[in-house]
């Protein structure tokens, strides 16, 4: 188990339909964010702001304050 948390990425269901491949699975980022918040803690981040067809979820055990 991790003492800091974990992160993962997945293909997003918000991908353009014309670029999707049938053999790949496209996850709903909102569903996975909600699942992580309910099951792993409050410190969850969803990164979906870069120009690719995927997203990243970061789950931290501790809240970091940046100054």
Per the structure, the count of domains in the chain is 1
Residue 47 lies in a domain: yes
Which structural domain, as residue segments, surrounds residue 41? 5-60
Residue 15 lies in a domain: yes
**Residues 9-58: tens digit of each pLDDT:** 999 999 999 999 999 999 999 999 999 999 998 999 999 998 889 999 99
Give residue 66's pLDDT. 61
Give residue 61's pLDDT. 87
SS3 category, 9:
strand
Determine the Cα–Cα distance for residues 6 and 4; give it in Å rounded to an integer: 7
Determine the Cα–Cα distance for residues 32 and 56; give it in Å rounded to an integer: 10
pLDDT higher than 60, residue 67 = no
Determine the Cα–Cα distance for residues 39 and 57; give it in Å rounded to an integer: 14
Report residue 65's pLDDT band, with 50, 70 and 90 as the boundaries.
low
User: Rg of the chain's alpha carbons, rounded to an integer?
Assistant: 14
Residue 66 lies in a domain: no
């Amino acid at each position: 188990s991790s003492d800091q948390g974990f992160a993962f990425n997945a293909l997003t269901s918000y991908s353009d339909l014309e670029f999707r491949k049938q053999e790949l699975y496209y996850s709903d980022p909102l569903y996975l964010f909600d699942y992580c918040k309910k099951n792993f803690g409050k410190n969850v981040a969803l990164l979906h702001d870069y120009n690719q067809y995927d997203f990243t979820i970061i789950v931290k055990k501790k809240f970091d304050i940046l100054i």
